Structure 1
Amino acid sequence: MTTTYVTGGPVPIQQTTYISTGPQQFQTTYVTSARQPPPPPPPAATVVITTTNNRRWANGAQTQAGTAASLLFVYAGMDMAQGLGWNLTQIFSTTLEFQYSWFIGVIIGTVVAAATASFVPKIAFYGLGGVMNLIDAIIFVSAPYEYESILAARYVGGVGIGLITVPFLIQSAEIASSTNRGTCSALEQYGLALGVAIQVIYDSQWTQDLGMSINRVHGIFGIVFAAIALGSVAIAIDSPIFYIRQNQEQKARAIVKQLLGSYWSREAEDQAYDEAKLYVVEGSSQGVVEQLGGSVMPFLKLLLFRCFVAFTFSMPLSRSMEMTSYLVEESTYSWPTIVFGIVRLIGSLITFAVLDTVGRKFVSLLGLMCMAGLMLGMAGVYGNYAHMSDYYYMWQVCRLGMAFQFFAGLFICSSSVYLGEAFPMRVKPFLIGLIVCLEQVVHIIVIVTFTATAESFYIYFVTVGIIMVVGLVAFAVLMPETRGLTLRQAGERFRRVHDVMAY
């Protein structure tokens, strides 16, 4: 906002400008006309106010930039759910390798992306990741009964998602304004939640009597999402920060202008470009070792936070829902499994809408608190092994499992936003990549070690429940609220040891 006061009075010509910094900048200029000395105050004043409204400056452009990645994340959610227990209509025996193969692929793709994201345009990753997911889907359609082919497809699809995850988390944070970064970055987890819902619903309701292989159905969904995503790459917008780092000022300014859209003005463009350039200058002025030293605290916070995302949808939770649904409804083709898939999507949709108004920290803490209580509640039921065959207790576990997924949806979206905000520019791809890889390692460990017995259910639920309680206390003290802050300001908040502000 620019405010100009033009006054008349017997004082010399002078112009005084005051600029306040923050999520929105306010510039006030006092201009006085030339006359002979004293006395103040001036008898008259005319106020001219020019306002640049950039609250939604990146919304339309982010839709273009995020369409390709978000559609690929939908198919990624389907692949992830298939490996975490939602492959009920088995055409061939499901092995441990089938279950963890996609996660191995994600790790491989993430390592490649983290090593190259600083000098390769993000659009290139979206294109390559889209092609690999299209190959994955085509194999599912063309060879639905061939185990080796399907296994290879899952590896390929995982690599494709790994290639786009790190670039998307970086780009979505860089192209969004401080007032809509939460919505932009949350597309990752929202897309995954939608994919999980699709896989859980159609997999739990499908029968071989319908005349089509369930793997072929999976592949058809994948072809549709991957094809649209590849078409969307042509209209995607890269980050201006990337081109500023490449010393391509004109290209960066053109992107800033495109991001501003209908809110463009020369003043708004200069303001947005200067903020992006300042972010690059500050990031470039620090050495890698210095940035790594300043990233220790943000890394520890985000490592714990993101690994909790792996606990929100896991093999034990899936097996528990399948088993309890079967005992209660005498079939997995029942409504609890449908609700199980939908409520996670509803929770993430609510969070998607309020991350930039209510904030990241309050919503995620609310979700984590409820998840911890529900997880310990399920552990209490499984603690008595005789309850495994009791209709009443299994019905309670079924209800708790459905409720857990709703609050999981509230929790997960903040992790994407935090990852894009927390780290300095030079080390950001590597630290985000490492955290994403460790998240997949958590999934793999749970898959390999879990067996569907009463003892395993109890150990898993009580252990994870206690970890969540500890994490709730830690996050309440350590995690910052970054709503409305620029990338530079958010990074400074993360480098604090503690930050108890929740709203």
Structure 2
Amino acid sequence: MSGMQTTSVAAGPVPQKETIILATVGPPEPPKPAVTVNNNGYFSRVKKGNSVVSGVFFLLVYGGMDLASSLGWNHTFNVFLFTEYSYCWFIGVIIGAFATILTMSYLPKQVYYVLGALLQLTGSIIFTAAPGDYASCLAARYLAGLGIGLLTVPFLIHNAEVAGTNFRGVSAGLEQCALALGIEVQVIYITEWSSIVGAEPNLIHGIIGIVLSLLGLGLSALSVESPIFYLRRNQETMARQCQEKLLANSPSGISKALDEARLYVAESDSRSLGEELVASVGPFLKLLFFRCFVAFSFSLPLTMSIISSTAVAEGSSSGWPLYVFITMRLVGTGVALCFLDTLGRKAVSLVGLACMAGLMLGLAILYSDPLNIIAWKPMVQACNIGMALQAFAGLFVCSSSVYMGEAFPMRVKASLVGLIVIIEQLIHVIVIACVSFVSSEDIYFPYFLSASITMLLGVIFFAVSLPETKRMTLRQAGHRFQRWYDLSFY
């Protein structure tokens, strides 16, 4: 047959037949490398790296309600008079902040959060049980103020230590955002809701406080301690465990973050207490003035101005400027949060402070003539200025929370932050005392004029002295704050 060849063998053994198997399918593919999905999105990192914020946020919202109640937004007891009820909450905050100065070096932050939440919960229950009893409400306000004082200082420091460099501004700025939300809740239900349902304002205050305190208590119990707390005690294992929890979504960054924390602790340990105090003089002066302007951004004279100007401009038919007044502050804090870690803290705060100064100067001009207090057109202008001022106040205040956690050396940070918080509360008490002993037509002009001039000077001072600390480690930010002048804006 064509194409075939036959071979004959005469003798010899017959060879064994070989079977050849032709592979019709290719060899198996090598295993593909495992793909690790690293959920390193921005909000994911914020969630893990800032677990402390979730619980304290609700407690600060209730603190904002108490702050508003102390500054004119309470109909049960007349807070326009210099009575113990008008300033007792600030005294409670002062006592709580002083307690943290004495004990914070020895106790984990979670202790302060839980204790502060329990004190706020106790005060809320008292409000609910006896909303019309003056002595009971007085005790409740002392307890609530003590709770806020206990948790404010640890939160500002703790947040700065556990938040990543790329979102420290957002997480710290939530302090002022929570306070603004609490102020809005208090203003809204005092202005409208309590009159509709016919309930005691303090009863509503207590019920809301119970809900917020329970939420804050439950979430605060889940907070993660700062690795720096354990590194200061040479507890490396505990520090690493905390860092692993904080960076669970970014395991590759654990060692780097822990090394940076070690450098931060070692740098502080290498200096004496006197050296750290000397290095803190400049940062303390900057932050003292900065945080004091926060007290001027929401004060009793501003409350009196917006209420009286709304009464003249709108009469009794509508109170919409009151809602806009306080909503603008919350909107301002929200806008600031969007820019603290992108545009930067310094530029945002200076824009807010400069506009606040200009608007307060406008109020001073309007109130320079006492007859304008009952004139329709000037009061319409005062009403509009008051609403705009709160928007820029919200833009300004958020940076203060970030700077408070960044400015000071580690060993003296708790003492200096606590001292600034105490002075901030004393300013509120002093302003309340001044307003209570002077008639409204005599207090507006000197208050707004002095506040506006002080703020304008503050703009100049901060423009040449405040550093821009976005995307810096705590160590780098502290070095920048120790400079006496810093002209950088971005």
TM-score > 0.5, shorter chain as reference: yes
Please state how far the C-alpha of 1:326 moved relative to its aligned partner. 1.0
Asked if the contact 1:478/1:497 (under 8 Å) is kept, the reply is yes
Please state how far the C-alpha of 1:245 moved relative to its aligned partner. 1.0
Please state how far the C-alpha of 1:64 moved relative to its aligned partner. 2.3
Asked if the contact 1:326/1:332 (under 8 Å) is kept, the reply is no
- TM-score, normalising length from structure 2? 0.89
Work out the CA distance in 1 between the residues paired with 2:55 and 2:113: 7
Corresponding residue for 2:97?
110
Corresponding residue for 1:424?
409
Please state how far the C-alpha of 1:53 moved relative to its aligned partner. 9.6
Work out the CA distance in 2 between the residues paired with 1:415 and 1:93: 28
Please state how far the C-alpha of 1:235 moved relative to its aligned partner. 1.6
Corresponding residue for 2:115?
128
Corresponding residue for 1:440?
425
Asked if the contact 2:282/2:484 (under 8 Å) is kept, the reply is yes
Asked if the contact 2:79/2:85 (under 8 Å) is kept, the reply is no
Please state how far the C-alpha of 1:218 moved relative to its aligned partner. 0.5
Q: Does 1:192 align with 2:179?
A: yes
Corresponding residue for 2:380?
395
Please state how far the C-alpha of 1:118 moved relative to its aligned partner. 1.5
CA RMSD of aligned residues (A): 1.9
Q: Does 1:350 align with 2:335?
A: yes
**1:190-239: CA deviation from partner (whole Å, max 9, x where unpaired):** 11111111111111114445231110000111001000011102321110
Work out the CA distance in 2 between the residues paired with 1:323 and 1:62: 45
Work out the CA distance in 2 between the residues paired with 1:93 and 1:463: 21
The one of 456, 460, 473 aligned to 1:473: 460
The one of 297, 300, 316 aligned to 2:285: 300
Structure 2 runs not aligned, ≥5 long? 1-37
Q: Are the structure 2 counterparts of residues 174 and 225 from structure 1 closer, same or farther at C-alpha, using a change threshold of 3 Å?
A: same
Q: Does 1:212 align with 2:223?
A: no
Q: What percent of counterpart residues are identical?
A: 48
Asked if the contact 1:204/1:332 (under 8 Å) is kept, the reply is no
Work out the CA distance in 2 between the residues paired with 1:321 and 1:390: 14
Moved more, 493-502 or 196-205: 196-205
Work out the CA distance in 1 between the residues paired with 2:83 and 2:472: 44
Please state how far the C-alpha of 1:60 moved relative to its aligned partner. 1.3
The one of 75, 78, 81 aligned to 2:65: 78
Q: Are the structure 2 counterparts of residues 119 and 332 from structure 1 closer, same or farther at C-alpha, using a change threshold of 3 Å?
A: farther
Please state how far the C-alpha of 1:386 moved relative to its aligned partner. 1.2
Work out the CA distance in 2 between the residues paired with 1:77 and 1:388: 29
Return the letter of the residue paired with 1:111.
F
Corresponding residue for 2:261?
276
Q: Name which one, 1 or 2, has greater alpha-carbon Rg.
A: 2
Please state how far the C-alpha of 1:422 moved relative to its aligned partner. 0.3
Work out the CA distance in 2 between the residues paired with 1:284 and 1:58: 30
Work out the CA distance in 2 between the residues paired with 1:288 and 1:146: 48
Work out the CA distance in 2 between the residues paired with 1:281 and 1:231: 34
Equivalent residues, number: 452
Work out the CA distance in 2 between the residues paired with 1:206 and 1:400: 26
Q: Are the structure 2 counterparts of residues 54 and 208 from structure 1 closer, same or farther at C-alpha, using a change threshold of 3 Å?
A: closer
Moved more, 59-68 or 187-196: 59-68
Corresponding residue for 1:502?
489
Work out the CA distance in 1 between the residues paired with 2:80 and 2:288: 34
Asked if the contact 1:92/1:147 (under 8 Å) is kept, the reply is no
Work out the CA distance in 2 between the residues paired with 1:499 and 1:53: 37
Moved more, 64-73 or 388-397: 64-73
Alignment of 1:89-488 (within 5 A): 90=77, 96-208=83-195, 210-265=197-252, 268-331=253-316, 334-450=319-435, 451-488=438-475
Work out the CA distance in 1 between the residues paired with 2:193 and 2:311: 15
Asked if the contact 2:82/2:433 (under 8 Å) is kept, the reply is no
Work out the CA distance in 2 between the residues paired with 1:342 and 1:248: 46
Asked if the contact 1:71/1:229 (under 8 Å) is kept, the reply is yes
Please state how far the C-alpha of 1:439 moved relative to its aligned partner. 0.4
Corresponding residue for 1:64?
51
Work out the CA distance in 1 between the residues paired with 2:402 and 2:395: 13
Corresponding residue for 1:490?
477
**Matched residue of 2:222: which SS?**
coil
Asked if the contact 1:58/1:175 (under 8 Å) is kept, the reply is no
Work out the CA distance in 1 between the residues paired with 2:455 and 2:418: 23
Work out the CA distance in 2 between the residues paired with 1:219 and 1:164: 20
Please state how far the C-alpha of 1:376 moved relative to its aligned partner. 0.2
- TM-score, normalising length from structure 1? 0.87
Work out the CA distance in 2 between the residues paired with 1:318 and 1:198: 15
Kindly indicate which of the two structures has a greater share of residues assigned to strand: 1
Please state how far the C-alpha of 1:483 moved relative to its aligned partner. 0.5
Work out the CA distance in 1 between the residues paired with 2:483 and 2:317: 48
Structure 1 runs not aligned, ≥5 long? 1-51
Return the letter of the residue paired with 2:342.
T
Moved more, 127-136 or 238-247: 238-247
Q: Are the structure 2 counterparts of residues 380 and 93 from structure 1 closer, same or farther at C-alpha, using a change threshold of 3 Å?
A: closer
**1:275-307: CA deviation from partner (whole Å, max 9, x where unpaired):** 011101111111111100000000000000000
Return the letter of the residue paired with 2:115.
L
Work out the CA distance in 2 between the residues paired with 1:187 and 1:301: 21
Work out the CA distance in 1 between the residues paired with 2:295 and 2:325: 17
